[in-house]
Amino acid sequence: MDVYSGSAYLSNQGWAAHAAEALFYGTRHSWFEGSGPLLMAKSWFLGFERNLKALIEGRIFLRSQWTRQADILNRVMESGQPIVVDYRGERISEMDMCWFYLTRFTNEIATSDRPIFCDLGSGCARLAWVFKQAFPNSTIICCDLPETLIGASYRLSMAYPDSRRWYFRSVAQAREDLRNPSDYDFIFLPGFAMECLPDNCLDVATNTMSLSEMRLETIGRYLEILSTALRPGGIFYTVNRSCVTPNRGHFDIPLQQFPVPPNLERIRFQERFRDIDHFSGEGSYKNGEALFRKIARTNTREVH
């Protein structure tokens, strides 16, 4: 099995079945929730009272962190069947966590007429949509397993029907078409083809809650690719496990053990990112947060 084949998740065939069950029946993993008429989103209701309390508390906290256009926080990706709570004039949804992530790195983004944003592990494209709302003239690259990109493609194409979208056909075609990613609004790129991204093309790269679930060599390879694709001064933001955590028969790798390439300079790190608890409602995720900036060159390799 190569480093792009799903690693600690499931085999390719197994993941396809897992994704199909979630997409069409809504009975499995929660990050598929709200991804369209394709989804029933039943599991979200199992802890509704707890989730509602957490979402309200999260929105209050988010308001204290957001210093830009106020109305934008009430926007929800309407494609599909998103679960939204109307509370005292606020439209609260699980999108709020993505808006909060944005507050953590927005001020670090270098000025660009058309920023290029890459979300590794984009899931059903929540964070991708949030970035596009905040930066309408941006290019969004969703990277994930092919089966998962079905949900991301559906949501974003419904939300932006007139957008310029690129879909993967072959590695050779990707290398040709993606020489200038800014030609597109949305790019749906499977993880095994990430090497097709041009050097120094990304302004922002993100990963939230998935690198820890991969094997160490997979983490290292993805980080190498991102560090090459980022422009000098570009940023990489991540939230991932901060401790060894059992997960489907293996143990998640903590953020502090990630093999970060030497050209990514750490500018912020929290081993325990407790602010996430405003949105999780459980306080049991034990996540860390890190923000890196690409530097022009370095002579030593470090593990952050």
pLDDT at residue number 50 = 66
User: Residue 115 burial (CB < 10 Å; 0-12/13-18/19+)?
Assistant: buried
pLDDT at residue number 9 = 46
Is the CB of residue 61 less than 8 Å from the CB of residue 278? yes
Is the CB of residue 15 less than 8 Å from the CB of residue 3? no
Pairing mode of beta strands 165-167, 186-190: parallel
CA atoms within 13 A on the CB side of 290: 24
Max Cα distance, the chain (Å):
54
Interacting residues of 252 by C-beta distance below 8 A, sequence separation 6+: 212, 213, 240, 241, 244, 245, 246
pLDDT at residue number 18 = 58
Tell me which residue has tokens 């069947």. 81
Interacting residues of 137 by C-beta distance below 8 A, sequence separation 6+: 113, 114, 115
pLDDT at residue number 112 = 81
pLDDT at residue number 276 = 85
Pairing mode of beta strands 230-241, 202-208: parallel
Give 65-124 pLDDT, tens digit per residue.
998 888 999 999 887 667 788 888 899 887 899 999 999 999 999 878 899 999 999 988
Q: What is the pTM of this model?
A: 0.86
Mean pLDDT by 10 residues, the chain (304 residues): 39 57 50 43 51 83 92 87 83 89 92 92 93 96 92 91 96 96 97 96 96 92 97 96 74 92 96 84 75 77 46
pLDDT at residue number 282 = 59
User: Residue 247 burial (CB < 10 Å; 0-12/13-18/19+)?
Assistant: middle
The CA–CA distances, whole Å, from 191 to 154, 163, 204, 210, 287 equal: 18, 22, 17, 13, 23
